[in-house]
Structure 1
Amino acid sequence: MKHEVKIIEPTELWYLQNNINKETNKLHHPTKSIPFVQQVEIHLENSGVVIQKGSLHRCIGQLTYGVYKTDNRLRDIWVSLKTDTEFNAPVYKGIGKVYLEPRQKGNFLHYTSIDIVEKEQWEFDDGVFQFCSDNVVLGAKRLKYKQMLGSNDGRWRLAITPLGGQKATVVASTAAPAKVISLNRGEILIADYDMVKGYTNGIHEDYRKLGHFGRGGGEGYVWIYEGEGKLLVTENEGMGLG
């Protein structure tokens, strides 16, 4: 499973009808917004993909359609009730292309592909998961009370792990550019905003006050990550850099 994120611009006719010179005003016009859209294109080569329910725009190829299932149907229903992943999430398998719903300019996302190795589990913030290979088990991770206070994820987060002996791929989306970093044993990450959008088992997350009674630098409540594993982080979120 591979994917491309494409930016699609208006047709030649649109430029003519709106009296805009495409060569000089392709990206910006002083008085009129040019309606670019962003669309994800997933390429399948004898593979499968699980996508969010309702996110399909179109597909083409030698493909079969199904729904995500494990050997524990009650767990599947539980995951759909407690996270943003829908019950009966669509699965497409075979050879071809799957296109997701386009996003209008102003609502573009940054997509990050993450490989998940055997016995590794990723836990993602609500709304971060977009699609993944079909060789996974989806679960739900309950948040502690302090974690709920510092996030908008409710009481549960989505947890993804590959099937035994396999490597899976998941694609996450964030409003700001994201990357995967490693945290080694003995290291600590402290952030004064919701910088971490996902992390692996082995990482301990806490949301607590830095110091008490005026001591500790005056930062108030911060996110703290310790342990050993990987994290999906957005370092420049809130900087207005797009």
Structure 2
Amino acid sequence: MRHSVNILEPTDLWYLQNNINKETNKFYHPTKSIPFVQQVEVKLENTGVVIQKGSLHSCFGKLNYGVYKTDNRLKDIFVSLMTEMDYNAPVYRGTGVVKLEPRQKGNFLNYAEIEINESEQWELDDGIFQLCSDNVVMGVKKLKWRQMAGSTDGNSRIVIKSLPKQKAQLVTGTPAPAKIIELRSGEVLIADYDMVKGFTNGIKEDYCKLGYFGKGGGEGYVWTYNGEGRLLVSETEGMKIG
């Protein structure tokens, strides 16, 4: 499974009809918005991909369509996969091309590719998951009330783990750029906003008040992460710098 993020621009005819010089005003015009589009394309070669619900735009090739549903037998194998509900999503298998719904300018996402090792289990914020290879076990994990209060994730998150002795691919999409950092034993990450978009097993998350009765430095409630594992963080979210 290989994916690419393509930026599509208007046709030459569009520029002509709107009386815009393509060479000098390709990216910006003072009076008219030029409608660039972002689209994710996934190429399959005898492989499979699980995509976000409702995100298909088109597909072409020798492909079979199905609906991913966690096999109960497989779910029993992964005792550490603490999910309360199965996750159903479209699956495409075979050889061909799958294209996701295009996103208009102003709603572009920053995509990050994550390789899931056999020993890892990723927990992702709602809306972050875009697609993954089909050699995974997926489920939905309910959040604690404190986690729900501190984020816009609703009441659940997606949890993903690769099949035994295999490595899976995961692609996430965030409004601001995201990167992976590693948390080692004895280290702690504290953030005054929803900075972490996903993390692996071994990481403990809490949403708690930093100090009490005015003795916490005025920070109020913060997110804290400790343990050992990897985190997907978006440091510039809320800064309005892309």
Q: Give the shorter-chain TM-score range.
A: over 0.9
Match of 2:225 in 1: 225
**% identical aligned pairs:** 70
- In the TM superposition, what is the alpha-carbon distance from 1:70 to its structure 2 partner? 3.1
Q: Over aligned residues, Cα RMSD in angstroms?
A: 1.6
Correspondences of 1:1-242 after superposition (within 5 Å): 1-72=1-72, 78-80=85-87, 87=88, 89-242=89-242
Kept in 1: contact 2:85–2:141 (CA 8 A): no
Cα deviation code 1:77-112 (max 9, x no counterpart): 9334xxxxxx3x211112211100101111111111
TM-score (norm 1): 0.93
Match of 1:84 in 2: none
Q: SS at 2:225's partner residue?
A: strand
Kept in 1: contact 2:84–2:139 (CA 8 A): no
Large movers: runs of 4+ above 4 Å: none
Opposite residue 86 of structure 2, the aligned amino acid is: V
Opposite residue 164 of structure 2, the aligned amino acid is: G
Q: Which structure 1 residue ranges, 5 or more long, are not aligned?
A: 81-86
Opposite residue 53 of structure 2, the aligned amino acid is: K
Instruction: Report the CA distance shift for 1:30/1:188 in structure 2 as closer, same or farther (over 3 A).
Output: same
Kept in 2: contact 1:43–1:96 (CA 8 A): yes
Q: Which structure 2 residue ranges, 5 or more long, are not aligned?
A: 76-82
2: CA distance between counterparts of 1:134 and 1:37? 27
1: CA distance between counterparts of 2:14 and 2:230? 46
Opposite residue 230 of structure 1, the aligned amino acid is: R
Q: SS at 2:138's partner residue?
A: strand
Opposite residue 56 of structure 2, the aligned amino acid is: L
- In the TM superposition, what is the alpha-carbon distance from 1:145 to its structure 2 partner? 2.0
Kept in 1: contact 2:69–2:86 (CA 8 A): no
Opposite residue 102 of structure 1, the aligned amino acid is: P
2: CA distance between counterparts of 1:130 and 1:171? 6
